Structure 1
Amino acid sequence: MTDKPVLLVVEDDLALQRQLRWAYDGYTIVTAATRAEAIEAVRAHEPAVVTLDLGLPPDPDGTTEGFATLANILALKPDTKVIVASGHGARDSALEAIARGAWDFYAKPIDIDALGLIVTRAFHVQALEAENRRLARRNEAAGRGFGGLIYASDEMARVVRTVERVAATDVSVMLLGASGTGKELLARGLHDASPRARGAFVAINCAAIPETLLESELFGHEKGAFTGAVKMTPGKIETAAGGTLFLDEIGDVPLALQVKLLRFLQERTIERIGGRKAIAVDTRIVCATHRDLDAMVADGSFREDLYYRLAEIIVRIPALGERPGDAVLLARHFVRHHAAAMKLAVTGLAPDAVAAIAAWPWPGNVRELENRIKRAVIMADGKQVTAADLDLDDRAGEDDGDALPLNLRHAREAADRRAIRIALTQAEGNISGASRLLGISRPTLYDLLKSYDLHA
């Protein structure tokens, strides 16, 4: 294999396959005649661009096999630019392929020059996107702190990228994740990154307020609306006008109140309890829950129409145990914070404590970690928190079993990246310390950092 970019030609007409193979000098051409061969070629060669005839055997006169091949290619390597072939009068199939993720299409009989322009443009766009991803990773590594979050893992970086992208819009966002994963911090970061940043950020935990008071908390009340209502009080929706209202544990809102919340989202007006006048309010809603809203919709305990109003964008937040290196990074932060707050002489984590933290699955997420570190800081006899202070056993989190990677090279790279991130975190960014933990030389670690575009 040369250093030329790889173009995969998926075509069952062997004569046309040969014609296309010799039509391009600037690329390494790989050919396939069936879906199985195409999948094997994608795994082996990782092509940047694929030309795909939708009429593949055993369905050469249809598109079933071609669409299945398209889906398989994009599932294996989502950044691939797939250019599909449409026969005469088959434009609808080409447009359907675009809707399913194809990048462009060309018409048969083939005009080599016209197809060459499409292929060249596809390689150019793919290269630009790869460079943008590389620069984004470098910027993230240089300094991460979105919404006060502390993280180094790629898993959390992907979540932050998603939230940053939707922040500039005015869509409703739903954050899904277990308790203690940082949903409120993400919501605050979204607000701060949005055009509403100068407005108020108001947070309310719907599960912490009795049902009888939740309506008044959200919508406010007029003077005399009920016993004890001695003055007009605006609700949280009104208080957040021009800004963002974060509704934590939205799954705990009772059905009767869900109706009123849906009306606000549809009409952008509210009525205070005891009021008769509709009040226009411009408030963005961000909500979160750890509950299974799909199941609640199915059993009727959560309104389907409200769910779709609240979940225009869904962001799933990984558990702390799914974020390699982040637990140790957060633990060091919590040690410094709590030691300073309690005026204790503890300065850091002992090596056995670092190992124990990295191995523990943290089912209670960041909240469990902070509580455990706070206790350990109090109990520590010396200047460093030890594994004994943490009171954790030796079991590590179980591997859930990821999907099969694209190929063995990708599996090795993923394992290398994970090990390097954990070692750098445990060594607090020190290259010599990380190389010792990994059992390799400093030059080898530098080469790996450069190869994987990682930063100490």
Structure 2
Amino acid sequence: MSDSSRDLDTAAANAPDREAARPADHPSDRPPVLIVDDDPSMRAGLRQWMRLAGFEPVEAVDAEQALTLLTPDFAGCLVTDVLLPGASGVDLLRKVKAIDAELPVVLLTGHGDVSMAVEAMHHGAADFIEKPFDPDVVAAVVRRSVAHRHLVLENRALTRRLDDLQGLEARLIGECAEMRRLREQISHFARTDASVMIVGETGTGKEVVARALSDLSVRAKGPFVAVNCAALPETMVEAELFGHEAGAFTGAERLRVGRMEQADGGVLFLDEISAMPLLLQPKLLRVLQEREVDRLGGARPVPIDVRVLSAVNVDPQTSVAAGRLRQDLLYRLNAVEIRIPPLRERAGDARLLFDSFANRFAVDYGCEHPQLTADDAAFLATHDWPGNVRELRNAAERFVLNAAMGARSLCSLVIGDAGGDPAPRGRLKDMMEAHERRVIADALARHAGSIAPVLVELDLPRRTLNEKMARLGLSRGEIAEADAERSK
């Protein structure tokens, strides 16, 4: 028996509590590790230690057998001796990289051959460990390699899903129930000519929704004219919207066609409509009712045919109550009301969106798409993203651009190096469970502990929700009571 085999046997014998501490683990939940060695005692020692470390060992005696067990979607890593019968471990490494260049391979050798180590690293070995070795070191290398492999496969799955997206799914990316509902609403209401008010926080993509409504309608070939009411100087709003004749006022040297006339035959999108001056709102209401525009200084009205879409970043009734939006204008604008969920309520969508933006920026800037670390993935899932999709897009662009300058965490790019890290630290599984618990608890609190609306909001079967609540220690009664107490 080799020194390393004895070390592995001794280490395994001295660590019975680790095995006992993992009774809930099932082999199917453990990442696989392919062990390749023709020494039965070495394989037995590695097998036992990999199980203690939380992995599911798979064994092969030579390179030929190992290659039959590997596929491009192999979810773990390969640990192989360099000296094998037939093809060597370095030969196996080359063939593995031909199957999948990002499949991690850890090489073991008892000869300390520096030139062989250099060659192995040149061919993409994840690490090179000399015998006799510390089993804890091997376990740490495997753990790091498997974590990287998990991120690689997850990124590939996201990329495939993004490549499969078409039409609305490509424009409004998201798999949560709210986003599926949003796409259904757009598909349905685009076929009508009704006025639509889009309600959503800043950065959620209100203009994206407006353009989708336009592009899927019978007015798709007509103009799409967007007006940000909050960005226009108050003294210029009327002239911008309705236009003016030459000589209508000082400086009006020639006729100007207003935005509403420019949208004739198409769609007019009035963003931040509640920022429009109150004195001008009755005139806009009249234009919408009469379907004709009075230019400043004009002798007769000009007929127009437009579909009006509008947007606000707060509940429109709040703007009415605050005296910023006329109730009668609201009635005219929101024949249909579409609400866009904020990113913090779109569980799981942040990673899909981030990957889409990162892929796009990597192509635009001619650089590689950098890999997310486990901490980056946890930050994506747990950050509240107050700037919504716009903030996430900016984060993806900065992440891609900064990757070539050295590793910086996504957290530091978003909130700064001195801002602290709001993402919980520790095992990725624990961090994701904490996020899942918060999402379910928040949904239960919003619905006062009532299960039925939570099932709809989270798009979960009752049995799945019950199992998750039991696993996460959630009680709908306690949550409802806590929410009632906070609201006193």
TM-score (norm 1): 0.56
The answer for the alignment partner of 1:21 in structure 2 is none
Q: Secondary structure at the match of 2:451?
A: coil
1:275-424 matches, within 5 Å, as 275-381=298-404, 386-387=409-410, 390-391=413-414, 393-395=421-423, 399=439, 400-402=442-444, 403=447, 404-406=450-452, 410-413=461-464
The answer for the alignment partner of 2:48 in structure 1 is none
How many angstroms does 1:414 deviate by? Answer: 5.1
1:433-448 matches, within 5 Å, as none
- Unpaired stretches in structure 1, ≥5 consecutive residues: 1-139, 419-456
Instruction: Name the CA distance, whole Å, in 1 between partners of 2:408 and 2:372.
Output: 5
User: Are 2:175 and 1:152 equivalent residues in the alignment?
Assistant: yes
When the two structures are aligned, how many residues end up with a matched partner?
A: 280
How many angstroms does 1:345 deviate by? Answer: 3.4
1:221 equivalent among 220, 241, 244: 244
1:217-296 matches, within 5 Å, as 217-296=240-319
What is the letter of the counterpart of residue 270 of structure 1?
Answer: V
Indicate if the aligned counterparts of 1:346 and 1:382 stay in contact, CA closer than 8 A. Answer: no
Cα gap change, 1:285 to 1:417, in 2 (>3 Å): farther
Task: Give the greater-gyration-radius structure (CA).
Answer: 2
Q: Secondary structure at the match of 2:239?
A: helix
Indicate if the aligned counterparts of 1:346 and 1:385 stay in contact, CA closer than 8 A. Answer: no
The answer for the alignment partner of 1:191 in structure 2 is 214
User: Which digits, 9 at most, give the CA deviation of each residue in 1:377-406, with x for residues without a partner?
Assistant: 222247987445545523477543332223
Indicate if the aligned counterparts of 2:370 and 2:403 stay in contact, CA closer than 8 A. Answer: no
Indicate if the aligned counterparts of 1:221 and 1:233 stay in contact, CA closer than 8 A. Answer: yes
Cα gap change, 1:388 to 1:363, in 2 (>3 Å): closer
How many angstroms does 1:374 deviate by? Answer: 1.9
How many angstroms does 1:302 deviate by? Answer: 1.6
Cα gap change, 1:391 to 1:301, in 2 (>3 Å): closer
What is the letter of the counterpart of residue 443 of structure 2?
Answer: G
Q: Secondary structure at the match of 1:349?
A: coil
Of residues 169-178 and 394-403 in structure 1, the stretch that sits farther from structure 2 once superposed is: 394-403
Indicate if the aligned counterparts of 1:172 and 1:312 stay in contact, CA closer than 8 A. Answer: yes
Backbone CA RMSD of aligned residues: 2.9
Instruction: Name the CA distance, whole Å, in 2 between partners of 1:417 and 1:230.
Output: 69
Indicate if the aligned counterparts of 2:361 and 2:400 stay in contact, CA closer than 8 A. Answer: yes
Identity %: 44
User: Are 2:194 and 1:171 equivalent residues in the alignment?
Assistant: yes
- Unpaired stretches in structure 2, ≥5 consecutive residues: 1-161, 416-420, 425-434, 470-488
Instruction: Name the CA distance, whole Å, in 2 between partners of 1:415 and 1:153.
Output: 19
How many angstroms does 1:141 deviate by? Answer: 12
Instruction: Name the CA distance, whole Å, in 2 between partners of 1:369 and 1:332.
Output: 10
Cα gap change, 1:416 to 1:275, in 2 (>3 Å): farther
User: Which digits, 9 at most, give the CA deviation of each residue in 1:238-269, with x for residues without a partner?
Assistant: 11111101100001001111011100111111
How many angstroms does 1:226 deviate by? Answer: 1.8
Q: Secondary structure at the match of 2:268?
A: strand
